[in-house]
Amino acid sequence: MIRWLMWLLGGIVLGGMVHLATVLALPTTASRDAYSRLTPIAQVNTVVPLPAPAPATALLPFMDPAFAAAVCRYDLSEAPLKLTVPVSQAYTSVSFYTRKGIAYYAINDRAAGRRVIELDLMTEKQHADMPEEEDVTAADRLIVESPTPTGIIVLKALAPEPGQMASARRTLAGARCRPQPQ
């Protein structure tokens, strides 16, 4: 009897390990994560408008239908990226996600405090390699460090009423993300 209980206990302990291992391994094995879903439509280092979510077709789950959205699937391996996003009338935000979909930074139009949200995205190494004087002169330059060389930037402009959706989309059409040779 005791022996069977020991086997059972071993199974429970091993089960806990299996549980932890699968939870930790899942993000690296997932093939339907946001980055993979966006890859077919989003060229690298280009702002691409996302189709509005509809009942039958939604690229990603839980998208907010009140927003016009665009993505920039970035790759910083060649050079840092410069992002410029014009601000719409109501509310505009820029969110940064790693390759695994982790939101490591987000900023809205009010926090950016200008008519155009302008920032430089680079890896930690590229930031460290930046010439020092440039860093000083660019004191008011917003620099965002990406934890991974690839990832996703999501640009969103709110249409508070459905009639303003077209104007929100037009605003995002003026957004640019392009590699900036150092």
Partner 1 sequence: MKLLFGSFLTLLVAAAIGLGATWFALTRGTAFGAVHIGAWTAWPRTGSSDIDPYARAGIARTGELPVGLGDGVAFVARRDDTGRPFDGRCEVVLRGTTPAARFWTLTLYDPEGRLVANSANRYGFTSQEIVRASDGTLEIVAAPRARPGNWLPTGGAEHYVLVLRLYDTPVGVATGASREVPMPSITERPCT
By CB under 8 A, residue 12 contacts partner 1: yes
CA-to-CA separations, 176 to 3, 50, 94, 162, in angstroms, rounded: 67, 15, 12, 25
Burial class for 7, CB neighbours closer than 10 Å (0-12, 13-18, 19+): exposed
The reply to whether 90 sits near partner 1 by the rule CB under 8 A is yes
H or E element, residue 169? helix 165-173
Considering the complex, state which of residue 60 and residue 79 has its C-beta at the smaller distance from partner 1. 60
- Give the footprint of partner 1 on residues 28-57 (CB under 8 A): 30, 32-34, 36-37, 53-56
Question: Minimum distance between the CB of residue 16 and partner 1, rounded to whole angstroms?
Answer: 7
- DSSP code, position 115: S
Closest by alpha carbon to 123, among 90, 99, 87? 99
Size of the site for partner 1 (CB under 8 A): 63
Alpha carbon distance 36, 171 (integer Å): 26
**Binder among 49, 101, 149, 179 for partner 1 (CB under 8 A):** 101
Shortest Cβ 82–partner 1 spacing (Å): 20
Structure tokens at 72: 């920039």
Using CB under 8 A as the criterion, which residues of the chain lie in contact with partner 1 when the complex forms? 3-4, 7-8, 10-19, 21-24, 26-27, 30, 32-34, 36-37, 53-56, 58, 60-62, 64-67, 90-91, 93, 95-97, 100-108, 110-111, 147, 152, 154, 156, 158-161
